[in-house]
Amino acid sequence: MERSSPILQLIALFLLPYLFNHNLAYTTTDLRTDELSLLAFKSHITANSSHTTLGKNWTTKTSVCNWIGVTCGSRHRRVIALNISYMSLVGTIPPHIGNLSFLVSLNVSGNHFHGDLPQELTHLRRLRVIDLSNNSFAGELPRMWFGNMTDSLEELNLNFNNFSGIIPQEIGHLCNLRILNIRSNKLNGQIPASVLSQCSQLQELWLSHNNFSGTLPIEIGNMTQLQKFRASGNKITGTIPQEIGHLSNLRVFHMRDNLLSGQIPTSTLSQRSQLQELSLSINSFSGTLPKEIGNMSQLQKFWAYSNNITGMILIHVFLG
């Protein structure tokens, strides 16, 4: 066997200390990356940045791990959570956010952020929570953003913004989503059936106060984990599909102020039902109130005013 060349031995000698300190060097360098990302974020806060708590606090004088709203991991000392909610911030979210590669949770709710959702957010493969609610984001929900988003995502809150257009099919790629909240935007079109059948892990789906139309797809019966479904204040037509009776975990079902008709489905109203809140007011339901409602042992709140249902007096008999 040949001896390794002296040059190689020399290289190995130089590499040894580097390899030894590799973890430390790696961490420090990358915490610097996190710092640069957040400083870029700060520079995109356009209004009152220097006057805000954040503007004064996010400086290189201290470690980024001490900055307000920033949480670092205890083991890796990298930024894992950013919570700058309700700080009266005005600005955009820059692409640099995509460099916070250890980020698990991003919460910017209750500010005045606007502009595009940066595609670079899809680089963050560890993200579990995104809360962009109650800001001024507008325009269509970006297909590519959903198509490429990490499937580690469990909670996505886009409520109280100005998003318009339809729900992109690509949202169905987020197969581990537990909570999807898009209430109070300007979304329209049908609730896509493919989304409902693909997002089988969804526990909470909030669609209220948009402009959705069309019928409730029967695929809603495939969302076996669903606990809370709220779609009040839309223009949803047709009947409530019987398949809803398959949802053995369903606790809250709000469909107030839509254009639903037909009978209130008795399949939802069995003794086994876990339903606690049922809101069907301001629709066009007809017929008589099914007497099965009296067997729903968990039911705490039931609203059905402003329909064409007879036998309303029974509510008091059964629930009183």
Ligand X SMILES: *[C@@H]1O[C@H](CO)[C@@H](O)[C@H](O)[C@H]1NC(C)=O
- What is the layout of strands, in order, in the sheet containing 259-262? 237-238, 259-262, 284-288, 308-310
- Comparing CB distances to ligand X, the nearer of 136 and 298 is 136
Rounded to whole angstroms, the Cα distance separating 293 from 198 reads 31
Residue 53: in which H helix or E strand, if any?
Answer: helix 53-57
Closest CA to 39 of 14, 62, 72: 62
Task: Rule CB under 6 A: say whether 102 interacts with ligand X.
Answer: no
Give least dist CB 90 to ligand X, A. 5
Which of 27, 39, 77, 90 contacts ligand X by CB under 6 A? Answer: 90
Task: Rule CB under 6 A: say whether 155 interacts with ligand X.
Answer: yes
Give least dist CB 307 to ligand X, A. 9
Q: Considering only the stretches 9-17, 79-87, 250-258, 272-280, report the one whose residues sit in contact with ligand X under the rule CB under 6 A.
A: 79-87
Which of 98, 165, 238, 265 contacts ligand X by CB under 6 A? Answer: 98
Which of 190, 213, 263, 281 contacts ligand X by CB under 6 A? Answer: 213
Task: Rule CB under 6 A: say whether 291 interacts with ligand X.
Answer: yes
Task: Rule CB under 6 A: say whether 55 interacts with ligand X.
Answer: no
Which of 49, 152, 201, 222 contacts ligand X by CB under 6 A? Answer: 222
Residues touching ligand X, count (CB under 6 A): 54
Residues 6+ apart with CB under 8 A from 66: none
Cα atoms found within 13 Å of the Cα of residue 156, Cβ hemisphere only = 24
Which of 9, 46, 136, 300 contacts ligand X by CB under 6 A? Answer: 136
- Comparing CB distances to ligand X, the nearer of 107 and 279 is 107
Give least dist CB 22 to ligand X, A. 19
Residue at token pair 């990302």: 37
Rounded to whole angstroms, the Cα distance separating 278 from 153 reads 29
Phi–psi pair at 188, nearest 5 degrees: -140, -170
Residues 6+ apart with CB under 8 A from 19: none
Residue count (the chain): 320
- Comparing CB distances to ligand X, the nearer of 110 and 265 is 110
Phi–psi pair at 12, nearest 5 degrees: -60, -40
8 Å CB contact between 149 and 168 = no
Give least dist CB 200 to ligand X, A. 7
8 Å CB contact between 264 and 289 = yes
Q: Considering only the stretches 9-17, 72-80, 90-98, 274-282, report the one whose residues sit in contact with ligand X under the rule CB under 6 A.
A: 90-98
Task: Rule CB under 6 A: say whether 201 interacts with ligand X.
Answer: no
Which of 55, 65, 126, 170 contacts ligand X by CB under 6 A? Answer: 170
8 Å CB contact between 248 and 226 = no
- Phi-psi category of residue 230: left, alpha or beta, with phi > 0 → left and psi -120 to 50 → alpha: beta
Which of 101, 152, 190, 197 contacts ligand X by CB under 6 A? Answer: 197
Residues that bind ligand X (CB under 6 A): 33, 36, 47-48, 51, 57, 59, 61-62, 66-68, 83, 85-86, 88, 90, 95-96, 98-99, 107, 109-110, 120, 129, 131, 134, 136, 143-144, 147-148, 155, 157, 160-162, 170, 186, 188, 197, 211, 213, 221-222, 235, 243, 271, 286, 291-292, 295, 308
